Chains A and B, each alone.
Chain A
């Protein structure tokens, strides 16, 4: 048995029984990275050679090799958001989730590839080139946490961190056949997560099964005095929620999720999943999220507006890349700003900064930004209404399985629409997750999305776990590497 192919809870059991040790586990992961990553390209940087990050402390509670997304700061460890503009940036501080993982005893494997600044759904928008789907190397792993999901799916790690602004954990989890959780907004501190859209971003686990997701969520959740938007509320032990019992839970199926554009194979898998849960005693009813058709438009206004401002600090002054201008155009300092940002940002990043700047600019604020904020209210209240009569919402994570590399890269709008089922969740702030629920005939994974109300993580994980117990999709090994 290869240690790198185990889940964290299996490893912890083995360590407890004296059958393995953290160093051997880490080594098996390093060997897997050496063997597989030339094909998958999940990592932009490894930290095998940094003893501070690579070696476990004795008696650590969770000496689990962990993959970090390249937008979460580790003190002294180069962090680039897969962007040229952050070349050489070594943050002088730890993100709060990293602090928590370090004190739990986790070790770090490396930083995973992502769409530049998390702008994308395929990991193709990376200055390091695309990552590949471990089930089919010609396909994308999804995005933006594509590197994290691909690393977990190809067993180049035990578990990973991702970040989810509009589906960036769930959609790659779906495409790679792993478990991905977007927690309630404010459940996990954002301090140290390089912001894309501050009011939507959440860090969350990408794991091989639901139990690991609960374990990792236990470690990273909680109030943080460094993040005003984190919620001061006790963190339950999420593993205690995994009872297998879903009897009597009322689950809503939004009719808007089963419309044109939904791949029939995906649809069939979701319908099968519903039957499995029905068999375990959950009840189902059709519900409506009438404003969900507006969520992509709303999201692209709000997220890009926040992003245009969040990315203003990449100006070549204090850190990262600087382009020293050769000739004088406007003024020495403005030329430096403009040329640094020109060569530092990729095309999708520029596109989003431009869109966000436009919708905030003088004369357009009310028509775009303010209106989108109001529609956000409508989208939120759709969920509120459903949750008065349901404990959870169930549906597909993405309308299709993983698409081919290059297939959508020239059509930003069709790329944006691949997040159609995940985006509304971020607008509402509520928790959601994706877990494997089948495979297409082409052998690509399909993801089941479970959505709950604020702080409904326990119910959500319980449903996911009950489904997982009844199926074995999560035990399949990625076939391409």
Chain B
């Protein structure tokens, strides 16, 4: 990072991601793990923390956590225990969060992020399983706060990096890469707006060449990857400014204010909590065998980086195309199904990243929701290649396929959209055109080839675009030039 003066600074960033799992039920009770319901309708005595109630671990939440751990190339602990993290807050029903302190599920992982056309390894310090808290709504009308416990007990995985990120852009790239991996695992919606993926950042800044870490600040309340990047840019500049003016940075938590585009101090470390972690006596320890880990490893999907490489070698796609396809697991799978039955890989890719992506966008739908089958799409592409329909018309047909669920074949027949290739019909049309344009005919006979296009255009007009232009060209040549 460059500042206005001579001194050059380096930014050091570590990220903490909280990921909500999309299990059917909460982590420690049978309440539905559902978003967007009326307040306090997804609660029970357990997740309300009523006296006398006890937690029981959701097996699927642990399996998901192990999946994430493996995807992060981390060591999965064979002995897992939960601990209580004690603090008071109205959204925390029991006065403690069930979390993991000294025996997290995962340790010492890494993921690779793109960096200047190459890759950079970002180390994962640890990842652990815990429960989410409720939501506080600040109601200025009643001069009070309102608490909704629907979210309480949603399974959360906290993923903590080492301070390996060196710029806001790297942080952004890490989040993008991580999100893609997590989407492939299918354990979370990874939707920052809905809060199913949240990110806090620790930032410090030091003069280039310095090897020890300087005081960090913690940034919270960013609600998009873009906001994380902007907040980090703001914060690194702030640190640098403070250092340049001879000041010192105070260790503190700061809230990112999206509206004002600045970070605002939240609380200083002196008031920070003494969490009094101790082993959760209400839950027993969990022992994960190597066999169980192997079994879960076998359910893991092919990860994006591997898939990109395979797409390049197996389907002859270029780097860009392979990357674009792999960004959406469903699109990538769809591509492979198409490519299995139809060999024009580049054309399939173009259709998926072009027309199909456009339909997904305009309809705000996923590929699955569009309900187009790979067979239907390749059949449509084949119609274009065979000259039955033009590219332009085919795009309209795609929209109709999505609306009706019918195949291209049926739509073309029913709507009469096929290009006219029938010789007798075309010969008749051609008769008319040649009669109507004697001047042009003369020019062609004199060898002015370029005039041919005019006649083709006329034919297209008369057939309302259904004629096959290539075929018309051939027929004109045969008639006028005996070719």
Query: Direct A–B touching in the complex (beta carbon < 8 Å)?
Result: yes
A228 touches B278 (CB 8 A): no
Residues on the A chain within 8 Å of B90, using CB: 315, 317, 333
User: Does B52 contact A309, Cβ atoms closer than 8 Å?
Assistant: no
Tell me whether B88 and A312 are in contact (CB under 8 A). Answer: yes
Q: B441 interface residue, CB < 8 Å from A? A: no
Q: Give the complex CA separation of A314 and B53 in angstroms.
A: 13
Please give, as numbers and ranges, the residues of chain B lying within 8 Å of A360 by CB-CB distance.
Answer: 86, 276-278
Q: Which of A191-210 contact B (CB under 8 A)?
A: 191-195, 197-199
Q: In the complex where A93-B45, A312-B86, A318-B93 touch, is A194 in contact with B52 (Cβ < 8 A)?
A: yes
Contacts known (A92-B45, A194-B51, A313-B93); A357 close to B56, Cβ less than 8 A: no
A190 lies within 8 A of B95 (CB): no
6 additional A-B residue pairs with CB within 8 Å, beyond A86-B51, A227-B56:
A71-B52, A192-B53, A314-B51, A317-B147, A333-B90, A360-B278
- Binary contact track A291-322/B, C-beta < 8 Å → 1, others 0: 00000000000000110110111110111000
Q: Is A403 among interface residues, defined by CB-CB distance under 8 A?
A: no
| 224-248 of chain A: CB within 8 A of chain B | 225-229
Question: What are 29 pairs between A and B in contact, CB < 8 Å?
Answer: A71-B52, A73-B52, A91-B51, A93-B50, A191-B52, A191-B54, A192-B53, A195-B282, A198-B282, A199-B281, A228-B54, A228-B55, A229-B281, A229-B282, A308-B276, A309-B276, A312-B86, A312-B96, A313-B93, A313-B94, A315-B88, A317-B93, A317-B147, A319-B51, A337-B88, A360-B86, A360-B277, A362-B274, A365-B276
Cβ of A361 within 8 Å of any chain B Cβ, yes or no, is yes
Q: Given the known A-B contacts A309-B276, A312-B95, A360-B278, are A73 and B88 also in contact in the complex, defined by CB atoms under 8 Å?
A: no
Q: If A228-B283, A305-B278, A369-B278 touch, does A73 touch B54 (CB 8 Å cutoff)?
A: no
Q: Give the docked Cα–Cα distance between A313 and B51 (Å).
A: 8
Q: Known contacts A73-B52, A198-B281, A225-B56; is A91 also within 8 Å of B45 by CB?
A: yes
Contacts of A357 in B (CB 8 A): 276
Q: Are B284 and A91 in contact, with the CB atoms below 8 A?
A: no
| Complex contacts, B18 vs chain A, CB 8 Å | none
Q: Is B78 an interface residue (CB 8 A)?
A: no
B55 to chain A, nearest CB (A): 7
Distance in angstroms between the alpha carbons of A269 and B51 in the assembled complex: 40
Pick the contact of A313: B95, B276, B278, B283 (CB < 8 A): B95
| Interfacial chain A residues near B84, Cβ < 8 Å | 309
Mark each residue of chain A from 57 to 92: 1 if its CB lies under 8 Å from any CB of chain B, else 0.
000000000000001110000010100001001011
Which residue on B lies nearest to A364, using beta carbons? B276
Going nearest first, the 7 A-B pairs with the smallest beta carbon separation are A312-B95, A360-B276, A198-B281, A199-B281, A194-B51, A192-B52, A362-B274
Cα A192 to Cα B55 in complex, Å, equals 12
CA separation between A197 and B56, bound complex, in Å? 18
Residues of A within 8 A of B50 (CB): 91-93, 313, 318-319
Chain A interfacial positions (CB closer than 8 Å to B): 71-73, 79, 81, 86, 89, 91-93, 95, 190-195, 197-199, 225-229, 305-306, 308-309, 311-315, 317-319, 333-334, 337, 357, 360-362, 365, 369
**What is the CB-to-nearest-CB distance from B155 to chain A, in angstroms, rounded to a whole number?**
16
Q: Say whether chain A's binding surface is mostly helix, strand, loop, or mixed.
A: loop
A155 vs B233: C-alpha distance when bound (angstroms): 75
Interface status of B48 (Cβ within 8 A of chain A) = yes
Bound together, the chains give a CA A459 to CA B331 distance in angstroms of 67
Which residues of A have CB within 8 Å of B95? 309, 311-313, 315
Min CB–CB distance B389 → chain A (angstroms): 61
> CA–CA, A191 to B28, complex, Å?
13
Known contacts A309-B96, A312-B95, A315-B95; A95 and B54 CB within 8 A of each other: no
Q: How far is the CA of A450 from the CA of B274 in the complex (A)?
A: 42
Cβ–Cβ contact A191 & B53, under 8 A: yes
Interfacial residues, chain B to chain A (CB-CB below 8 A): 45, 48-57, 84, 86, 88, 90, 93-96, 145, 147, 274, 276-278, 281-284
Q: Which residues of chain A are within 8 angstroms of B56 by Cβ–Cβ distance?
A: 225-228
Please give, as numbers and ranges, the residues of chain A lying within 8 Å of B274 by CB-CB distance. Answer: 361-362
Residue of A nearest to B284 (CB): A228
Nearest B-chain residue to A338, judged by Cβ:
B88
Separation of A314 and B96 alpha carbons in the complex (Å): 12
User: Are A318 and B49 neighbours in the complex by a CB distance under 8 Å?
Assistant: yes
Residue of B145, B276, B283, B284 with most partner-chain A CB within 10 A: B276
A313 touches B52 (CB 8 A): no
**Chain A residues, CB < 8 A from B281:** 197-199, 229, 306
The answer for the CA separation of A313 and B55 in the assembled complex, in Å, is 14
A333 neighbours in B (Cβ, 8 Å): 90, 145
Q: State the CA gap A190–B51 with chains docked (Å).
A: 11
Instruction: Report which residue of B86, B93, B95 has the largest number of chain A beta carbons within 10 angstroms of its beta carbon.
Output: B95
For A95, the chain B residues whose CB sits under 8 A away are 52
Distance between A191 CB and nearest chain B CB, rounded to angstroms: 5
Residues of B within 8 A of A93 (CB): 45, 50, 53
* Chain B residues whose CB sits within 8 angstroms of the CB of A79 once the complex forms: 51
Quote the shortest CB–CB distance from A158 to chain B (angstroms): 24
Among B53, B88, B145, B284, contact of A229 (Cβ-Cβ < 8 Å)? B284
A318 interface neighbour in B48, B96, B282, Cβ under 8 Å: B48
Q: List B contacts of A365 (CB < 8 A).
A: 276-278
Tell me which residues across on chain B come within 8 A of A306, comparing CB atoms.
278, 281
Contact present for B54 and A190 (CB under 8 Å):
yes
Bound CA–CA A312/B86 (angstroms): 8
The residue in chain B whose Cβ has the minimal distance to the Cβ of A333 is B90
In the assembled complex, which residues on chain B have CB atoms less than 8 Å from the CB atom of A89? 51
Known contacts A91-B45, A313-B95, A333-B145: A226-B278 contact under CB 8 Å: no
Q: Is the CB of A228 within 8 A of B282?
A: yes
Shortest Cβ distance from residue B41 to the other chain A in the assembled complex, whole angstroms: 14
Chain A residues whose C-beta falls within 8 Å of the C-beta of B53 in the assembled complex: 93, 191-192
**What CA separation (Å) do A334 and B90 show in the bound complex?**
10
**Closest beta carbon of chain B to A312's beta carbon, Å:** 2
Query: Min CB distance, A3 to chain B, in Å?
Result: 32
Residues from chain B with Cβ under 8 Å of A91 in the complex: 45, 50-52
For the complex formed, measure the closest distance between the CB of A393 and the CB atoms of chain B, giving whole angstroms: 25
Can you name the residue of chain B whose Cβ is closest to the Cβ of A95? B52
